Structures are given as C-alpha cells and as structure tokens.
Structure 1
Amino acid sequence: MNVDTTEDSGGTEDSGGTPPGRVVVIGGGIAGLAAAHRVLLAGRPVTLLEASGRLGGKLHAGEIAGAPVDFGAESMLARRPEAIDLARAVGLGDRLQAPATATASVWTRGALRPMPKGHVMGVPADARDLGDLLSDEGLRRIGHDRDLPPADLGEDVAIGEYVARRMGREVVDRLVEPLLGGVYAGDSYRISMRSAVPQLFAAVREHGTLTDAVQALRRSAPPQNGPVFMGIEGGVGRLPLAVADAVTAGGGEIVTDARVQALTRRAGHWEVRSDRRVLRADAVILATPAWAASALLAAESPAASAELAAVEYASMALVTLAFRRADLPPGMPAGSGFLVPPVDGRTIKASTFSSQKWQWVADGAGDLFVLRTSVGRYGEEAQLDRDDEDLVSVSLRDLGEAVGLAAKPVATEVTRWIGGLPQYPVGHLARVARIREAVAKLPALRVCGAAYDGVGIPAVVADARRAADEIIATPTLAQGTHSDE
C-alpha cells in the first residue's frame, strides 16, 4: 500500500500544481476510504488525509498469540449489498466468509438461554417463540399488546419506551436491550425507533399494534437464501487496507499522520490546512466523527457545527483472550457466543466465541481457542477507566460464571474504542436533516460516516457513496475544471 508518511515542508500548493477537480477526503476510516475510492472511479483526482498513523477506523485486523483476529467490527450485514460489493471491487471476493455458526444465546436469569427466532430487533411476533427467556409473567405481559388501543407514534419514539408500554419492560430488558446494545452500545430507552428500526416504525404506523407489525414484517420478509452476516478471511479489518491499496494503485494519494486543523473557503476553492501540508481543493468530503466535523465547520457553517457537536457517542472496550483448547471446560457451549442484558448486573455485555464463529480464526489459532468480550455502554464510561488487567479480570470472572471457563489465558489484548459509537436518540433523523441542510449551503462539501444513516459497515459505505456521488455531480467537477476558472 503506497501511503505517504514522509514529512512535508509545508506551504500552500499553488493552482498550477493542483490537478483540476481535486477532491480532498478528510478521514481514513471505511467511510473516507470508500468515498475516495468512489471519487477515483469517476476519474477525479483525490487526496485522503488521516489524522492518525493507521487507516481503517473501527475496522482493525491484528493478531493475538499469532492468531489473526479483528480488534474492531468483525462482520457485515449480508442483506445490504454495499459493503460486500466494495469488498469484491477491491479484490476480496474470494475471502468473503459466512460464519461457521450463527447460533447465539442470551445469558440471563442465571443461565445461557437460546436466542429466539421470529423477532425484529428483539420485539417478538409471538410469546411462544421466546422459550424460557422471560419469566411467566413477562411472557403473559406480551399478549396485552393487542388489548391496547393503537398508539400514536408521533414523529419519533424511543424503541425501549414504546415496547415496554406495549409488551412490558421484561421483553425490553432481556432481549431488545442486549441486541441494540450490541449494535449501538446504547440505551434502548433513548434510542430512536425511527432511526434504529425504521421498518418496524413504519409497520406499527400501518398496523397499530406491535404484534401485528412484527408478524406483518415476518410474512413480507424475502426468503433467506444465504447468511445474514459475512466476514472476511483474515478479518474485516482487511477491507479498509484493500480499499486503500486500490485508491493508491489508481493514482489517488493517501497521507497519514496528517491532522486537519482548518477548512476555509477562499476565492472559489477550499483550503485544507493540516499539520503536514496545506492543500487547495475543488471539493471536500468530511468523513470524520461528528465532533471533528463540528470543529472544522465552526467558521464556515456555525449551524452545522452546532448540530454536529450535539451528537453523542458511547465508548467501549473489546477484550480478546486466547486459551489452550486443552484447558477449556468440557461443557463449553456450542454457538457463536452470547449477549448479556444490563439488567442482570454483569460487567461484560457480550462474548463472541471467535474460534467457533469464524473458520479462519479457528484455522489460524490452531491449538488455541480465541474469544472476546465487550465492556461498556452509553452512560457506563467509568468501566473504561479500569486498567487493562482489571478489564481482563472482570471478563474472566463473568466468563467463569457464564460458561464455567476457569483457565488462565495464554494471551490477552484490550482494545479501547473511546467515543467509538454514535448514538441515535429520539430526534436523530431530524438532526441529520438539519446538518445536511446547513452543509448543502456550502459549495462542493459533503459529510458522511456512522453518525448519520447507520452505524453498520454497509450503511456507512452507502453514505460514503452518496456523498461522493453528490460531489462528483457538482458542475465544476463534472466539467473537470477548477472551481475558480
């Protein structure tokens, strides 16, 4: 991968050395890389600036005890094509891999209980689908939904609050909450139903009750002919590196350790000032976290900056552990792992049995068994104040209680994602609309990333493509000229 990490002497590049129609992408996570790739495919020169020394953002492949693992996101929703299409476009098509097992459990009420089927993000179509996940009273409460009059959802509603009102808190606390927590590291009693589960929001508006809405969604769902999720052999963290290779091979420029300090509109072009260099750009794509975009837009768009500054984030840590297979308990459960409802008072919120979920991990680990836990939710940032040794210790304690694992790991790795996951509270869609309305008033500038239309990899790639396509369609870039010519 041809990435520039050399020191620059600084100074503003003059217009004679600037290719016509150059786009500068700020941010080297998967959003920025996907946007740069899209711009390059349209035949426009592109420079990507990344503040850190590593590309990929929350997609990060690494090793533990010589075994390949993901230290960030590990899978992509297969029902949306954008991420898989990108992987194929950059030469990873033959490395796409479905999970070896997708059977998960919920550790609640003192036992591992099978994850039920027939639900939409934890909202059941029928109480009989839940087995013994809930108490008898909790199961009975679900049936009250149809006895209640249809509720007015208004413009938006918190999914946890609404489901609790219709079906009782237990279904939220023991199923909806851990599922949404796995996606957003958030609080389901704050998370927007319209943003997080838009298909359910629309179905409830049409059918009036949650039960009827979920059943209608289940009936209308297309047959599932393939896996729900896909990974990449060697780790999903390989994806951004492959995209970066494709960008540089196509003539694009990628500069790491280049923190952008100012973004200024001057005489028909953008001036992008980093601690490495000053660039003149005909268009800019901001693919940074919301707080970074807010700082860069403070002077040019105070309205967008203020809205971006209000986007909240959750922090979390992933604790990756490698054990000798010979040391595993004889009753080690099958499946891909388990979720943990916060109502049960545990420290970990989930555990993934990576060696059982992904064949490439099992093959690479050999005689070792790799698993990981996650710690930290919105409002629980204090958990991340613990040192690495303590996070490993509490993970081992919870794993011991959940699955009887008493062995000492041969290797551990703690990965902290501070401000890693944007939150989608009630009103999120309206905030995003205001941000985009304000940004649209700036010539040849767009924003994209996980803070807007979804935190999953396919949603982020789709948002990057949208931003890139809108930039490509601007008159000056479409004509291949400088904006002030």
Structure 2
Amino acid sequence: MTARYCVVGGGISGLVAAYRLRVTAGPDASITVFDPADRLGGVLRTEQIGNQPVDVGAEAFVARRPEVPALLAELGLGARQVGTTGVRPLIYSEGRLHPMPQGTLQGIPAHAESMTGLVDAAVEARIADEPARPFAWRPGADPSVADVVGDRFGDQVVARSVDPLLAGVYAGSAATIGLRSAVPTLAAALDSGAPNLTEAVRRALPPPLTGSVFGAISGGYRVVIDELVARARVRWAQVAVDRVEREADGWRLIDDEGTDWNADAVVLAVPAPRLAPMVEAVAPRTAAAARRIAVASSALVVLALPGGTPLPAQSGVLAASGERLHAKAMTLTSRKWGPRGNVELVRLSFGRFGDDLARRVGDEELLEWASDDLATVFGITADPVDCRVQRWLDALPQYGPGHQGVVAELRAGLPATLAVAGGFLDGIGVPACVASGNRAAAQVSIASVAR
C-alpha cells in the first residue's frame, strides 16, 4: 500500500520533514503539506526590496552547526552559502555606541576588562572580585539568565551586555530565558564543578574559529525553500488544520473548511499555541505542555536607503534594556553581508516579549520610528527609496527556565506515529529547526513501518 504522510506547517521544519519523508519513503508515497499562508517557508521569507532579495524573517544561521551546510550540500546549494564581511556589531547603551564586548558568552564576561566602558567602575570591580565570593550551584538547575548573571556580576551587565543579545535572538530578556537554553555550554560547565561563574564562562567559551561565525544564502532563504519543495514533491493544501483524530488505520485531520484528510503518520510543525488545540483530544499531556511555552511577537522594518548613505563599517546595533530607542536591534545588511546593488539595506527589529507592539503599531508609525532611530544612532536622515514592514505574530517561542523538561513532557505525550517539529523545541535558530524536521521524519518513518 502507498504510504500516506501529512505534514502540518510549511516552514523550514515542516519542509525538511517532508523532504526527508520523500527520501525515505520513495516516489510513490503520498505527502501532503498543510499551510494556509500565501507561500511556503514560514518565517523564512525573501522579498525584493530596492531590487535586491532580502530576507525579512530569519536572515542568518550559526555556521559552526552542521545542519544547514549539510543540507545545502545535499541539495546542491553549497556554493550559495556566504559568510559575513567580518565587521562587528555595536551596543547602544546610555545614549552612546559601544563596541560589542569580546571574550563573552552570550554577553556574559569571562573577565572584567571586556566590560570596560560599558559598565561603571564599581561593576567592573564586582566582576573582577566574583571568583573570591562564595558560590553555590545545584547540578541540573535551570534558573533564568538574569538570576545567575545579575547575582554574580550585577544588573548593568544584564541590561547592557546580555539583554541586547537575548532580545535579538528570542525577543525576550535575561529575566525570561532559562540558562540551559540560552547558554547550554555554561550550564554544563557549572554542572561539571566550575567553582564560580567566571571560571564557568572561561571553560564554556568556544575555541576561536577561522571564517565567519554566521552564514546566509545568496539569493535569500527562498532558494532553499524552493529546492526543498521541488525535491519533496508534496501536495500543498492551502488550509489550516483544526484538529487531529485517531483512526483504526492511522490519523484523520480536519481542516478549517471541514474537510477530512487521512494519514498513516503525521508531523506537526506548527507553533506551540497552534499545537495545543490541535492535539487536545488525542494527546492531552502534549497539549498541556505546549500551553506552557510562551511566545513573543515582532515587527521588522527593512529600508533600502540611497547608495552612498554613510553607514558605519559595523554589522549592526543591539540596544541595551531601557534605552530611548524604539528598535531593539538594527542590522546594517549592506555592511554585514556586503554591498547589493545601488542601495544600502538596513533592517530594524521591534517588539519584545510581553508587549503588543507588533499588533498595535501601524506601518506608517513603524516607518517613522525606524527613521527616528537611524537619526538618533547614526545621524542619518536620508529618505528610503524602498521599504517593507513584516510582522511575525506569536512566532518567537520563549525558552523559559525548565524549558527542556517541558519539551520532554510534550514529546512523551505523543503516539509514535505523531511527531512534532519546530523552533519551540530544541532551539530557535534555523539549524535547530532543520534538526527537528530530520528527527520528526525519522520517528514517523520508523513507527509507520513498524505498524
């Protein structure tokens, strides 16, 4: 009999799962991807802005992780991988620009000198003195990043060095993100007996790398999305799935138009808020765990400024907590990745966990905020020749304290032929999403054959 697979969610996690199912199950398998959006790809979305392809969702991946380079090579796209120009970001704190501290782990310093100029002298002294103060750590603990770093190094380090990085990754803060998710190598160093936080950071720092830390795709992520869709040879059902029900020979999916779909196995690659009601009837334990994963929304403004606009030779700016800027981060795309055409491309990101900015603020006001922030930070007043506002609602999962336990509970509640994938599980970045798609496809392939 022909194997029938359904993948709910057409983002990178779902499309990787569909591709892996095609490779494993062969050309005769039926693979349907459900996604009501106007195009597949989820938060990987490439638009033409200033006549240049620009990613208006995720724009980069950590190059030291193997998943994306391996996938690109497998798809014949290895030559499309590009690195940064080598320029570094800045931090905007206390109304001034500061170099991004070096010798830190997610902004957590390994020595006091790295914070010089960013924090005051008293805080520098506190960091230098940290190894001499009593320290206690319970192996396996997962406090918030702020609980640990604030206690040992002070609130200025949290607000001015750590928060800017975590806001850029999660749209969250050190107070909302668990240590094990944000810096797993640091948690491992503490578990293994590091006598203080300073020593744990030193042990956890990765060795120096040659080449670019981050990678991107020439032509944008749509190049990868298009290739995955072509190779997976899926049927795209442009509808949302409301719920999943168990049947004697597999699964029944009911979409938002009332149509039934049948499958031997299902991969659910949707955000946690959508997952919970979808599986409530068949996996209540999973639904309960999914509801414990909070999400944030963000809005992105991309500006194509006239060629020659005097931007600094930096990759971007991250804003410290409490600054009088609207944006939490700016990416100077034309500096970070190199020139594109006769425009200077800039991305500004707005919205943090707990606010409703991405829903509440209109496009015109966001564009005004972007112009104001560029003037405040760089003194730039040039009018853009093109622009784009992109909103990502409830798209950024918060990896709170104890997140790994929540995910273990979520997976434990699922039958073998029902798997999950996505950025709310084992990592929010593109490499982790690729890994989750691979894992989900392998699980349902093995389980469906065993049936």
Q: TM-score, normalised by structure 1?
A: 0.88
CA distance in 2 between counterparts of 1:144 and 1:425 reads 29
- What's the counterpart of residue 445 of structure 1? 418
Of residues 182, 185, 199, the one that matches 1:212 is: 199
Q: CA-to-partner distance for each residue in 1:115-134, whole Å, 9 max, x for gaps?
A: 12111111111111233122
Which of 115, 121, 127 aligns to 1:130? It is: 115
- 2:236 alignment partner in structure 1: 255
- Is 2:405 aligned against 1:430? yes
Aligned counterpart for 2:10 among listed residues 16, 28, 39: 28
Q: What one-letter code is carried by the residue in structure 2 that aligns with 1:345?
A: R
Q: Secondary structure at the match of 1:348?
A: coil
Of the candidates 70, 89, 105, which is equivalent to residue 104 of structure 1? Answer: 89
**Separation in 2, partners of 1:385, 1:290:** 22
Are the aligned partners of 1:288 and 1:448 in contact in 2 as well (CA < 8 Å)? Answer: yes
The residue type equivalent to 1:477 in the other structure is: V
Within 2, Cα distance between the matches of 1:71 and 1:273? Answer: 31
Of 229, 241, 251, 1:244 maps to 229
Q: Is 1:273 the equivalent of 2:254?
A: yes
Q: Report deviation, 1:447.
A: 0.8
Corresponding position: 1:344 with 2:323 = yes
Structure 2 matches for 1:28-427, cutoff 5 A? 28-44=10-26, 45=29, 46-153=31-138, 155-205=141-191, 206-218=193-205, 221-248=206-233, 253-274=234-255, 275=257, 277-326=259-308, 328-329=309-310, 332-359=311-338, 362-363=339-340, 366-382=341-357, 384-427=359-402
**1: CA distance, partners of 2:357 / 2:282:** 35
Q: Give the Cα separation in 2 of the matches to 1:237 and 1:198.
A: 31
**Whole-angstrom CA distance in 1 between matches of 2:247 and 2:85:** 54
List alignment gaps of at least 5 residues for structure 2.
none
Q: Which has the larger displacement, 390-399 or 84-93? A: 84-93
* Residue 66 of structure 1, CA deviation: 1.3
Distance apart, 1:144 and its partner CA: 3.0
Q: What amino acid maps onto 2:411 in structure 1?
A: R
Query: Which residue number corresponds to residue 4 of structure 1?
Result: none
**When the two structures are aligned, how many residues end up with a matched partner?**
445
Report percent identity of matched pairs.
36
Q: How well do the aligned residues superpose, as a CA RMSD in angstroms?
A: 1.6
Whether the 8 Å CA contact 1:60–1:238 is kept in 2: the answer is: no
Cα distance, 1:102 vs structure 2: 3.8
Instruction: Tell me the SS of whatever aligns to 1:164.
Output: helix
Q: Distance in 1 between matches of 2:145 and 2:369?
A: 30
Deviations 1:247-286 (A, max 9, x none): 12xxxx2314121123111113111222384322111111
Between 1:228-237 and 1:151-160, the stretch displaced more is 151-160
Aligned AA for 1:349?
Answer: K
Give the C-alpha shift of residue 104 in structure 1.
Answer: 0.9
> Counterpart of 1:473 in structure 2: which amino acid?
I
Shift of 1:51: 2.4
2: distance between equivalents of 1:462 and 1:443?
A: 18
Structure 1 residue 383, shift from structure 2 partner: 5.5
* 1:10-58 deviation digits (Å, cap 9, x = unpaired): xxxxxxxxx5332211110000001111111112522222222211111
Classify the secondary structure of the residue corresponding to 2:230: helix
Residues of 2 paired with 1:325 and 1:48: CA distance? 41
